[in-house]
Amino acid sequence: MLPSIFNDVIGPVMRGPSSSHCAAALRIGRLARDLMDSDFIEVLVEFDRNGSLPTTHDTQGSDMGLCGGLMGWEATDPRLPESLRILQETGIPIAMETVDAGDPHPNTYRLTLRSTSEGHTLRGISTGGGSIEVI
């Protein structure tokens, strides 16, 4: 990735407590949502057992970011702290599991979204400062 004055000097608009967990998770959730041609009806999130996310996703804002992104929200949305509850209230089941995936990066998110007609999986890495890489 080339240096950018916006990400490397100024930085993106993001919500804490962690840019690697909340801001990046929101961007990854939005990308997963955008992959779908129709509304999704279930979500599976997987974290590698040897990564950083199994023990921090609920305290560092990953859940908040992912759910906000899955709903298409911006990082500045005031509802973000309640995003997991709000997503669950829509009736969309979201499962978060720890798996032996062998991911090469500790901040790897694996999302699988399903609708009545399709399913897509996205694997994204938080590279720091709210930046992500899709692999």
For the segment 6-28, the average pLDDT, to the nearest whole number, is 70
Report all structural domains of the chain as residue ranges with CATH numbers, in order of start. 18-134 (3.30.1330.90)
State residue 82's pLDDT score.
96
Rg of the chain over Cα atoms, rounded to whole angstroms, equals: 14
| 132-to-27, 81, 126, 128 alpha-carbon distances in Å | 8, 21, 5, 7
pLDDT tens, position by position, 61-80: 899 999 999 999 998 899 99
- pLDDT higher than threshold 70 for residue 128: yes
Full DSSP string of 54-86: HHHTTTTTHHHHHHHHHTT--TT-TTGGGHHHH
- Whole-number Å distance between alpha carbons of 61 and 14: 11
DSSP structural state of residue 16:
S
